[in-house]
Amino acid sequence: MRRNKKERQSLLQETIQHNPFITDEELAEKFSVSIQTIRLDRLELAIPELRERIKNVAERQLDDEVKSLPVDEIIGEMIDLELDRSAISILQIQKEHVFSRNQIARGHHLFAQANSLAVAVINDELALTAKANIRFTRQVHEGERVVAKAKVTHVDSHKGRTRVEVLSYVGNELVFSGEFEMYRSGNEH
């Protein structure tokens, strides 16, 4: 359905507000216009490109600091963190993440993204993976963007264990799920 420019720009703003991680390509498809039209609309509306939006969201929302590992050791770009509650990271699948024969992402990269997010969400100086139950639900290809969402589902302070569920998506499609049992030292600050 074709919309006039004003309607499209209004919906574009709404869409990006709801999902700041949507790409220009996805927006172009959603509104049945060219990528160039989307870029021009964004320019007119002073909406930054995806990379800048991700950075802005991260700066706004990362009030808490990761305690369990250096931020540069997190696989993917951390964009949201609430210690002992939830965390989100984004991993852009590039040439170095895929098998050269078929451009399918190697599973250890998806696992590493999820596992490092499960470690990062723990509000402790020391957090180690004690056990993981994982499932790959679809192949991920070069050029796709994986959004991993971690959620703390159970804390057992007596045993020093925390259960973290991580679901990873490409668009709205689940590509990986994992339940991580994390050991924590108990030195919370």
Rounded to whole angstroms, the Cα distance separating 34 from 24 reads 9
* Residue 76 sits in the same domain as residue 106: yes
CATH of the domain at 41: 1.10.10.10
Rounded to whole angstroms, the Cα distance separating 120 from 138 reads 25
Rounded to whole angstroms, the Cα distance separating 108 from 117 reads 14
What integer is the mean pLDDT of 153-169?
93
Rounded to whole angstroms, the Cα distance separating 157 from 3 reads 55
Q: Does residue 84 fall inside a structural domain?
A: yes
Query: What percent of the chain is predicted at pLDDT more than 90?
Result: 61
* Residue 126 sits in the same domain as residue 82: yes
pLDDT over 80 (residue 64): no
* Residue 144 sits in the same domain as residue 179: yes
pLDDT digits (tens, 9 = 90+) for 101-124: 999 999 999 999 999 999 999 988
* Residue 28 sits in the same domain as residue 82: no
Among 56, 71, 98, the domain boundary falls at 56
What integer is the mean pLDDT of 147-172?
94
What domain range includes position 113?
Answer: 63-184
pTM: 0.69
Give the pLDDT of residue 11: 93
What integer is the mean pLDDT of 161-174?
96
- Token pair belonging to 18: 């709801």
CATH of the domain at 128: 3.10.129.10
Give the pLDDT of residue 124: 87
pLDDT band per the 50, 70, 90 thresholds, residue 63: very low
